[in-house]
Amino acid sequence: MAPIPMPARGAHTTPKFDSTKPGELRRYFDDDEFLLAQAAITTTLEKKKACSRYLSVADQELVEGLDEFSDATKTYEEFKKAALAHYAGNDEDHLHTLKDWDAHLRVGSTARVGIHSEAELATFYRTFVHMGKFLIAKKRLSETEQSHVFLRALQPASLQAAVKQCLQIIRPNIHADDPYELKDLYEAAKSALAGAPSTFLSTTDSLVKPEPAPAAMNSELKEMLMSLTKLVTVLGHQIQTNQRNAAQPKSMRPVITKNYLLVVCGL
């Protein structure tokens, strides 16, 4: 197969890199190396030049100013490593950190409002697994820790409880202190969400907050309570009066009519 020439700068087939997304520089190098292989370019100098050619002016000046670019004794891999070191998110030994992982668990919406659908679960799970596998490979995290953390991350508490119940049924031989496999936790969470999604509302979300009563209604209620208080006072006085005058002749007893009560109470 005949070599395919490298595309000209500005062609739609050239590798793309946006310095506002520094973590994508590794992909840029991968795309460039694919074209280098097709073009059968193997010399160190030509490979370095090809990798800088499609960058923006500022980025091109930066990488070509590196000692690893101009020094003929430096390999292409040394040049590539030096270039990547100038852009955050490209350190292959620290692409993900425990701090990043903890931030994903604590700062994201999952920690604040919980998981209420399979779509939200899948979104959380993808990043959790991706970062977790990297940290486990670097021996900065254990599979046991990953399992326990994922179960604790399933919020609200009702979802976590449902997942535990499901696992007790499908994995009855797993001791409570032993970790479940991550895939089993994920499947149990999916089943719980699919089975009864309405039960996983957080306490604060599930409570319907009463709307405040209009000001006019509060005023009417206050007036009614004042009138009732007056009515109770009047009735109390009537009872006392009836007791004092019980021995008096009927013609001398005061008469409290319904209309009198209404006037006193302001009704």
The 10s digit of each residue's pLDDT in 58-112 is 999 999 999 999 999 999 999 999 999 999 878 777 777 888 778 777 655 555 6
Determine if residue 89 is left, alpha or beta; phi over 0 gives left, psi from -120 to 50 gives alpha, anything else beta.
left
Q: What pTM did the predictor assign?
A: 0.53
- Answer positive or negative: Cα dihedral of 231, 235, 236, 238: positive
**Domains: count for the chain:** 3
Q: Are residues 70 and 50 in the same domain?
A: yes
Query: Which among 36, 68, 92 is the end of a domain?
Result: 92
Q: Are residues 65 and 111 in the same domain?
A: no
Q: Are residues 1 and 44 in the same domain?
A: yes
Query: Which among 156, 182, 206 is the end of a domain?
Result: 206
Low-confidence ranges of the chain (pLDDT < 50): 197-210, 213, 261-264
User: Counting Cβ atoms within 10 Å, is residue 174 exposed (0-12), middle (13-18) or buried (19+)?
Assistant: middle
- Name the residue type at position 51: C
**Which pLDDT tens digit goes with each residue over 117-134?**
999 999 899 989 988 998
Range of the domain at 246: 215-265
pLDDT for the residue numbered 94: 76
CA distances from residue 71 to 48, 80, 120 in whole angstroms, order as listed: 11, 13, 50
Q: Are residues 192 and 223 in the same domain?
A: no
The span from the CA of 150 to the CA of 129, in Å, is 9
- Name the residue type at position 93: D
The span from the CA of 246 to the CA of 54, in Å, is 112
pLDDT for the residue numbered 177: 77
Q: Are residues 70 and 156 in the same domain?
A: no
Q: Are residues 187 and 251 in the same domain?
A: no
Local structure of 42: helix, strand or coil: coil
Q: Are residues 184 and 236 in the same domain?
A: no
- Name the residue type at position 215: A
Q: Are residues 86 and 103 in the same domain?
A: no
